[in-house]
């Protein structure tokens, strides 16, 4: 093999392995995991919710996997179960804060909408080779005016479960704490669907809120400078709950 072919082959193999790892994470099954220490209330059911009795309270730690969870408007919290305790007919376990997120059991990678970002702060901002590594690939200040695409996020157990974004620009990529980033130049819009037509959204990675826009509601949207697309939030206020459509498909309020 010619000498110049070896680096090219190694680069291709590395890129393929990286994409394969993400594909495995996205297609695998997901479970909910605590990302912060949270108080759990063990309750005994009474004849009605106002007569329920608190048996004890304790802390469930970040990193704990939930075997089930559901929000109860009747109790004003989330009824949960884990491998250590189970909510049943007479006794249930409740948390008042939904400090959990849906992740793959073997990986914490989550797909993100391919929106545009810029650096938020000055100074030496480290960009890591992976969210679970302390290896610095480069510093963000080296690319002062670069616009980045974010395609994945991860809660890093190496960095106290902080959320890291995977940024890309051409062949340059790495992981950076999301607090160091901000949206690229854009304007905020309020939009509606025209008439009674449904408007589908593209590239929305959210499993819960990936549905078409319907007539009636007004939606928050972002339009990046120089683009004819708008990124719309169908319902939730999480960063992965965006999908795009063309501005011509919507009415601006």
pLDDT number for residue 99? 78
Tokens of 2: 């010619």
pLDDT number for residue 70? 86
Domain termination site, one of 104, 134, 153: 104
Three-state secondary structure readout of the chain = CCCCHHHHHHHHHHHHHHHHHHHHHHHCCEEEEECCCEEEEEEECCCCHHHCEEEEEEEECCCCEECEEEEECCCCEEEEECCCCCCCCCEEEEECCCCEEEEECCECEEEEEEEEEEECCCCCCEEECCCCCCCEEEEHHHHCCCCEEEEEEEEEHHHCCEEEEEEEECCEEEEEEHHHEEECCEEEEEEECCCCCCECCECCCCCCCCCCECCCCCEEEEEECCCCEEEECCCCCCCCCCEEEEHHHCEEC
- Nearest-5° Cα angle at 35, 31 to 41: 90
Residues 44 and 81 occupy one common structural domain: yes
Q: Is residue 79 part of a domain?
A: yes
Residues 86 and 39 occupy one common structural domain: yes
Q: Is the pLDDT of residue 98 over 80?
A: no
Tokens of 43: 């309750």
Q: Is residue 14 part of a domain?
A: no
Give the CATH number, domain containing residue 164.
Answer: 2.30.30.170
**Separation of alpha carbons 233 and 185, rounded Å:** 18
What pairing do the DSSP bridges indicate for beta strands 38-44 and 100-104?
Answer: unpaired
Domain termination site, one of 183, 207, 240: 183
Residues 150 and 131 occupy one common structural domain: yes
Please compute the mean of the pLDDT values over residues 159-176 and round it to a whole number. Answer: 86
Question: Over the stretch 194-217, which tens digit does the pLDDT of each residue have?
Answer: 888 888 888 776 655 556 888 888
Mean pLDDT, the chain, rounded, equals 80
Domain count, the chain: 3
Q: Is residue 16 part of a domain?
A: no
Q: Is residue 42 part of a domain?
A: yes
pLDDT number for residue 103? 60
State which residues form the domain around 84.
Answer: 32-104
Residues 93 and 131 occupy one common structural domain: no
Residues 246 and 198 occupy one common structural domain: yes
Residues 113 and 179 occupy one common structural domain: yes
Q: Is the pLDDT of residue 44 over 60?
A: yes
pLDDT number for residue 37? 84
Q: Is residue 19 part of a domain?
A: no
Q: Is residue 58 part of a domain?
A: yes
Domain termination site, one of 104, 128, 147: 104
Given a contact cutoff of 8 angstroms between Cβ atoms, the answer to whether 206 and 241 are in contact is: yes
Question: b/e per residue, 117-131, with b = 16+ CB within 10 A?
Answer: bbbeeeeebbbbebb
Assign 32 a pLDDT band (cuts: 50, 70, 90). confident
Please compute the mean of the pLDDT values over residues 211-224 and round it to a whole number. Answer: 86
Q: Is residue 225 part of a domain?
A: yes
Given a contact cutoff of 8 angstroms between Cβ atoms, the answer to whether 188 and 221 are in contact is: yes
Given a contact cutoff of 8 angstroms between Cβ atoms, the answer to whether 94 and 80 are in contact is: yes
Residues 120 and 89 occupy one common structural domain: no
Most distant pair of Cα atoms in the chain: their distance: 80
Backbone φ and ψ of 6, nearest 5°: -60, -50
Cα within 13 Å of Cα(52), Cβ side? 18
Assign 190 a pLDDT band (cuts: 50, 70, 90). very high
Residues 116 and 167 occupy one common structural domain: yes
Residues 178 and 113 occupy one common structural domain: yes
Q: Is residue 23 part of a domain?
A: no
Residues 52 and 71 occupy one common structural domain: yes
């Amino acid at each position: 093999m010619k000498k110049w072919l070896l680096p090219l082959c190694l680069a291709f193999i590395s890129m393929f392995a990286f994409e394969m790892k993400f594909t495995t994470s996205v297609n695998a099954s997901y479970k909910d995991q605590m990302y912060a220490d949270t108080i759990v209330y063990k309750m005994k059911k009474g004849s009605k919710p106002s007569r329920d009795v608190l048996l004890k309270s304790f802390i469930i730690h970040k990193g704990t996997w939930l075997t089930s969870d559901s929000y109860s408007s009747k109790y004003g919290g989330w009824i949960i179960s884990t491998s250590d305790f189970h909510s049943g007919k007479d006794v249930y376990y409740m948390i008042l804060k939904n400090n959990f997120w849906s992740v793959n059991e073997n990986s914490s990678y989550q797909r993100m909408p391919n929106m545009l970002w810029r650096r938020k702060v000055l100074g030496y901002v480290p960009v890591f080779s992976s969210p679970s590594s302390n290896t610095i690939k480069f510093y963000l200040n080296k690319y002062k005016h670069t616009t980045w695409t974010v395609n994945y996020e991860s809660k890093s157990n190496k960095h106290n479960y902080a959320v890291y974004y995977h940024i890309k620009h051409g062949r340059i990529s790495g992981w950076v704490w999301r607090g160091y980033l901000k949206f690229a130049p854009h304007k905020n819009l309020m939009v509606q669907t025209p008439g009674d037509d449904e408007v589908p959204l593209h590239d929305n990675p959210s499993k819960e809120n990936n549905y078409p826009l319907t007539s009636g509601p007004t939606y928050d949207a972002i339009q990046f400078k120089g683009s004819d697309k708008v990124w719309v939030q169908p319902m939730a206020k999480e960063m992965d709950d965006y999908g795009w459509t063309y501005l011509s498909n919507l009415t601006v309020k």
